[in-house]
Amino acid sequence: MMLRFVILLITLPLIFSACKGPVNQENQAEQAEPVNKNQIESQVHLLEENIQKVLAKDSLSSNGQKLVVPRTLHKDGALSVVPAGDWTSGFYPGVLWYMFEMTGQPVWKERAIKYTDLLEDQQFNGSNHDVGFRMFCSYGNAYRLTSNPEYVAVLEQSARTLIDRYYEEVGCIRSWDFNQENWQCPVIIDNMMNLELLFWTTRKTGDSIYHKIAVNHAQTTLDNHFRPDNSSFHVVDYDTLTGEARKFNTHQGYSDESSWSRGQAWGLYGYTVCYRYTRDPDFLRQAEKIANFMLAHPNMPDDLVPYWDYDAPGIPDEPRDVSAAAIMASALYELCTFSDRGAIYKHQADKIMRSLGTTYASGPGENQGFILGHSVGAKPMDSEVDVPLNYADYYYLEARVRVMDLEAY
């Protein structure tokens, strides 16, 4: 693999010349050095302090659910803390597990255990596909770093809950239950991120059903979600009787035919994971195709932090999506270990991480303690636009840990 890196480094200038795009000059002014580990620790300590301040005022949501983890900022800048059932609830415990992995300090492990335990009941929450996000980012990292056997049972039940949403006729796990007047079995590209829970459960328990469903879902998504240019639709709706794809929509992108940036990053990450567990070359090729689509897109900015949608009409004056960049960087660090284009992907991931750690990082004491700012949740609904998001921080820290692993190797 190192020989591949050396050979491919020679070709980097040619590749990069094809990856230029419009630049937001305001975002080009960078700090001298990326945010360091001590600065990150200070921010996450501050976030914990602010969580406790919110809970001291009111520990329940408007519908009476217990507030558990930070998600983002409200429009007035106040910290938004959400219940365990929120689709993002697993990311903050995951952030704490990565802090423990990066530093070895017991305080992070103690907090990670505390917040992970608060999600235990979510192993039974089958109201949507997000059980994978909630449970594998929290309990998956918890088991990886502690080998506590109690976590295995929770993860296995979470996997059982997830496959209850599998439609045999379709070959996919249904993502959402809402909008039933228009959709029969909607599957979103984000759902690729939940497959790691299934692959892991088969590897840990020996029960092949989880692996089979994950492969079926990945293959069906590969067959139907992608356009000829290797961009992805956000939502594909399937006929529950015939299994045929019947609608191709978006929910968070600019239009049905546009390329929502975070969706492209979900696909890249998901197919890289699928290749890790299956070694199916079709999945590796798909990951590479998605990476190449994003990196060579004419609307990809020079700093490789994409606009919220590659086809948004106001580029270059559209918001960037730091969460999409963080997911992409983390995925590229894994993909570079599998691909013949590994040196290119590694270099591009490094460039993204420098951008995130400088231009897009919170200043000391800013953003209530989130590490990064400037993410976009759902711009069509004017929801979470140009704000910190817990999953941006999660994948940014995961990418930092992956860099540590690559350097150690």
Known catalytic residues are 130, 190
Burial of 103 (0-12, 13-18, 19+ CB in 10 A): middle
Cβ neighbours for 179, distance < 8 A, ≥ 6 positions apart? 186
Could you count the other beta carbons within 10 Å of the beta carbon of residue 37?
11
Spatial contact of 180 and 225, defined as CB atoms under 8 Å apart: no
Whole-angstrom distance, CA of residue 351 vs CA of residue 66: 40
